[in-house]
Chain A
Amino acid sequence: MAILLTVNGSPHEVDIDPATPLLYVLRDELALNGAKYGCGLGQCGSCTVVVDGEAVLSCMVPVMLLEGREITTVEGLGTIDKPGPLQQAFIEVQAAQCGYCVPGMMMSAHALLRRNARPSDAEIREALATNLCRCGTHMRILAAIRRAGELMQAASLPRPDEGRAG
């Protein structure tokens, strides 16, 4: 059955059983391999993506529920040449060990920062409670998310050279 999905702003028509979880469609049909398969059971968070602004576990969501919804994956946050603030912050702080959990962490953080640009550590921990990291880089992940918040705020302020004549 044909399902129409909007991922990172582009429409995709996929011919698939509507009961298929989004994660498999992203990875197998759309070659978007950012979202990771960790457990396939809704327990680890490595498959987290954002749907209409909210973090969801893509391994748990059948695509039948997603027509007409705005799906964002880690690929939608920026590119290698032009990393988005979250990606840049993770690079700056070197918040990854193996990196497997990181796309999920970034997407949970993305949803959080959209509604709260200056979250407290407690709020970050709460928003990321369903994201597991086996390598134990949690302290750096916290630092990266704080840093991303700063970068986003800086980006939304007028730049020092803006508005200057000539």
Chain B
Amino acid sequence: MWALRVVIVFVAAIVLAVGAFFFLAWRSEIPEDAAAAEATFAPELVAKGAQLAALGNCIACHTVPGKPAFAGGLAVPTPFGTIYSTNITPDRETGIGGWSEEAFQRAMNEGVDRRGSHLYPAFPYDHFTRVSAEDNRALYAFLMTRPAVKAEAPRNDLQFPLTYRPLLAAWKLAFFDRGELEPDSSQSEAWTRGRYLAEGLGHCGACHTPRNALGAEDRDHYFGGGEAEGWQAYAINKDSKAPIPWDEQSLAFYLRNGWHEFHGVSRGPMAEVTGNLSALPDSDIMAIATYVTSIMGDPTPERGQRAAQLREQFEGDYREQTADSQSSPVNASGGSPGEAIYVAACASCHEGQRRQPFGGLNFELSTAVNAPNPQNIVNVVLFGLPPADGEASAVMPAFRHLLSDQQVADVLAYMRERFSEEQPWAGLVELIANTRSGAHRVTIRPSDGIERAPHNVGAEEG
């Protein structure tokens, strides 16, 4: 009798737990809206939505380079397997053509699709939940007026049990903080606007904040540096390694133009971000800079001092263009093999007198050389910076056909030693070999001004 009672209680507990879980996980289907794709919207609303979509960088994940915009199908590698982005054009069958605005608002707010399935957080709804209903309405208007494209995304390639979407409810319970941010009355209007843009649609933290083992952003290391598409997204909090610390002006300039004299050009996935941000008004760019630099905080006195020296060295019109690559501006002291290569192959641009963005950045100013992980320099040395299509842009030739893994490692070791106070990088040769072979997958994109669709000559799937 006693044993039976235990079993009954036990079974009841399980049933209750499972029931509670399903109750928690269950989301209703929002009926298909047959007229959604034909709806018309005020042109101002659509224009505003276009700006917001650029801020959200939606096109980056929801477009395969060279294929129609927003039609999805891009493979997004995650530690848990590959997720394919969805078609967000208003195609009724394969896109969001049957989605009412309510369904769209819910997807942004809660990470749930029209049918009621939980979405994987590769879609950064942990940020998009901060977006106002009004802005979501504009985004919806913009997307629903794009050309409808019939394109079915490939099936996600995830490890079991992650294929079972109700599990995401548990993830959300642990990590998802839903809803708009509370206003902070101690802060300026620009800061508040900047936080709204950066935290919400801008989703800066999705790349710049490290993630925990379950793929959620580690809020204790907010903006502490993360990874995106095989590139390091640098720390943009107090741990920023920029030799001349960012300030509002320089960051706003960089976000506006895709480069800054003291910081170099944006590249990798960030090139897309700065390219897209060109759709935003100056006031919004400035607001993002205000917010992000407030997170970085004031530099320590030592950093400040070093920065003052560097400014003196690199500011103003000291720079005149040198003749060419035949005469290296520096001499090798006969030291390491890396030095010999650096002096012959790198210095003519990187210590030449051409200004950003067309000259190479002097490594005294480089965040990359000071970064804890050398991945970004490895990417750029091996694959270069391809030119943007049909406009002047920064370029760098690729050296993968010219330098062996060991030679790249030698050059990097020399640069680290000469231009940084940080510890030498470990495991260089292996990292370089994995990057070259594609075992570590890197996306290579033109250096700026890009729009990945419909034509994006120069963008290469790495």
Contact = CB atoms under 8 A, between A and B. Distances in A.
Main secondary structure of the interface of A (DSSP, over half): loop
A133 interface: no
Contacts of A39: 324
A126 B344 contact: no
B402 A21 contact: no
Contacts of A21: 325-326, 344
Contacts, number: 74
Interface in A75-130: 122, 125-126, 129-130
Contact of B401 (A42, A51, A125, A130): A51
B345 A61 contact: yes
B335 to A, nearest CB: 14
Contacts of B395: 42-43, 130
Nearest to B66: A122
A41 B324 contact: yes
Nearest to B386: A129
A18 B344 contact: yes
B392 to A, nearest CB: 10
B403 interface: yes
Contacts of B396: 42
B397 A41 contact: no
Contacts of B344: 18-19, 21, 62, 64
B340 A59 contact: no
A52 interface: yes
A129 B358 contact: no
A64 B66 CA distance: 38
A150 interface: no
B158 interface: no
Contacts of A59: 324-325
Contacts of B407: 65
B58 interface: no
Interface string B387-405: 1010000011100011100
Contacts of A37: 324
Contacts of B458: 126, 129
Contacts of A40: 323-326
Given A57-B397, A62-B344, A41 B325 contact: yes
Given A43-B358, A125-B457, A126-B458, A65 B326 contact: no
B343 interface: yes
Interface string A126-138: 1001100000000
A130 to B, nearest CB: 6
A126 B461 CA distance: 13
Interface in A31-77: 37, 39-43, 51-52, 54, 56-57, 59-62, 64-65
A129 B332 contact: no
Contact of B457 (A19, A20, A64, A122): A122
A18 B402 CA distance: 15
Given A41-B324, A43-B395, A51-B402, A126 B457 contact: yes
B401 A56 contact: yes
17 contacts: A21-B326, A41-B324, A42-B325, A51-B401, A60-B348, A62-B344, A64-B340, A64-B344, A65-B345, A65-B403, A122-B457, A125-B389, A126-B457, A129-B386, A129-B387, A129-B457, A130-B397
Given A51-B401, A59-B325, 14 more contacts: A21-B326, A37-B324, A40-B324, A41-B324, A51-B402, A54-B401, A56-B401, A60-B348, A60-B397, A62-B345, A64-B341, A64-B344, A125-B457, A129-B386
